[in-house]
Chain A
Amino acid sequence: MSAKDTARRIKDQMIEDNLKRAFTSKANEAVPDELLALLDKLKAQDDSNGPS
């Protein structure tokens, strides 16, 4: 493997590492209250409509 190929692979790996870190950080955040409230509302609608 040439130094150029290695450099490219390292660059790609750095990009992938950072992408994953940013993505995982956001994905692990607490779900906002508004979204939880929406889910409660959807569940309540299902309950009032009976099983589908």
Chain B
Amino acid sequence: MAHPDPIPAPLDPREELVTHLGVLRAFALNLTRNDATADDLVQDTVVKAWKNIDKFEEGTNMRAWLYTILRNTFYSDYRKRRREVQDSEGHFAATLSVKPDHDGRLAMTDFMVAFHKLGDEQREALTLVGASGFAYHEAAEMCGVATGTMKSRVNRARARLGELLDLQGDDTLDITDKSTLAVITCGLAVRRS
């Protein structure tokens, strides 16, 4: 009789921390809107997390823990000085490695310029829920607000982004052909399932 594989030992928290560096950089960039500042913020976050690794509770969500350290560091140390370096002209967006599509999706450069015009809380909310995949209640807990507040922030951020991108409902998406409507609706249902 074959012996079952032994249960792998849990990953050392320090080793697990390293696996989250990529998403930390992406989150930091969405908060700071500047590549160099984002990397400074991640470095500060890593040092704080490393020094407090014994406070991380095994079995809980390390990504959420790291995000919380990063956002607290941003709001306490970076927000006040970021005006000196913020990318208000969209320079960062223009250098994005993501290439615009030509298949009907939004051009990424335009999208990021608009995204960077949102306020801190709205960019944060969209990043946590829309990009990182946290549930509303998880994002709310990280930000120290009620779940309803987080939902409102996400909804307002989406609406504002739509305005900035001139994507306001009827004007942009004038769907009158029933066949087209059916195909698009079906696609949405599949993607959300």
Which A residues form the contact surface with B (CB < 8 A)? 1, 3-4, 6-29, 31-32, 34-35, 38-39, 42-43, 46, 52
Contacts and interface: CB of A to CB of B under 8 A. Distances in A.
Nearest to A18: B111
Contacts of A14: 105-106, 167
Q: Which of A17, A19, A39 has the most CB of B within 10 A?
A: A19
Given A10-B184, A16-B130, 5 more contacts: A7-B169, A8-B169, A15-B158, A21-B98, A27-B26
Interface residues of B, number: 47
Nearest to A25: B98
Interface stretch (B40-48, B65-73, B135-143, B145-153): B40-48
A18 B108 contact: yes
Contacts of B98: 21-22, 25
Contacts of B169: 4, 7-8, 11
Contact of B39 (A12, A27, A28, A35): A35
Given A12-B158, A14-B167, A42-B47, A28 B22 contact: yes
B132 A23 contact: yes
B130 A1 contact: no
A14 B108 CA distance: 11
B106 A6 contact: no
12 contacts: A4-B169, A4-B170, A7-B173, A9-B188, A11-B173, A13-B191, A16-B130, A19-B131, A20-B131, A25-B98, A27-B25, A43-B14
Nearest to A38: B43
